[in-house]
Chain A
Amino acid sequence: MKQNWNWYRYASPATFYPLAGRLVPWFAWVAGILILVGLYWGFFQTPDQLGGANSQKEYYRIIFIHVPAAWMSMWLYVVVTGWSALGLVFNTRQSFMMANAVAPTGALFTFLALWTGSFWGRPSWGTWWDWDPRLTSELILLFLYGGYLAVHSAIDDTRRADQAAALVAIVGLVCVPIIFWSINCPDPNQCAALHQRSSLGRIEPNILTAMLLLTFGFWSYAFATSFARIRSIILERESGTQWVRELPEVHP
Chain B
Amino acid sequence: MSQASFLSQGGYAFFVWGSYGMAALLLVAEMLLLRRRRRTILFRIGRLIRMRAQETDHESQT
Contacts and interface: CB of A to CB of B under 8 A. Distances in A.
A213 to B, nearest CB: 14
A193 to B, nearest CB: 21
Contacts of B22: 112, 115-116, 119
Interface residues of A, number: 39
Contacts of A116: 19, 22-23
Given A65-B23, A122-B15, A245-B49, A235 B30 contact: no
**Main SS of the interface on chain B?**
helix
Contact of A236 (B10, B18, B30, B41): B41
B23 A232 contact: no
Interface in B43-58: 44-46, 48-49
A239 B45 contact: yes
Nearest to A116: B19
B46 A119 contact: no
A66 B9 CA distance: 17
Interface of B: 1, 6, 9-12, 15-16, 18-20, 22-23, 26-27, 30-31, 34, 37-38, 41-42, 44-46, 48-49
12 contacts: A49-B10, A57-B11, A105-B30, A112-B26, A221-B27, A225-B34, A232-B41, A235-B42, A236-B41, A239-B48, A245-B45, A250-B49
Give me the 7 closest cross-chain CB pairs, A-B, nearest first. A58-B10, A59-B12, A116-B19, A58-B9, A119-B19, A62-B19, A250-B45
Interface of A: 43-44, 48-49, 57-59, 61-62, 65-66, 69, 104-105, 108, 111-112, 115-116, 119-120, 122-123, 221, 225, 228-229, 231-232, 235-236, 239-240, 244-245, 249-252
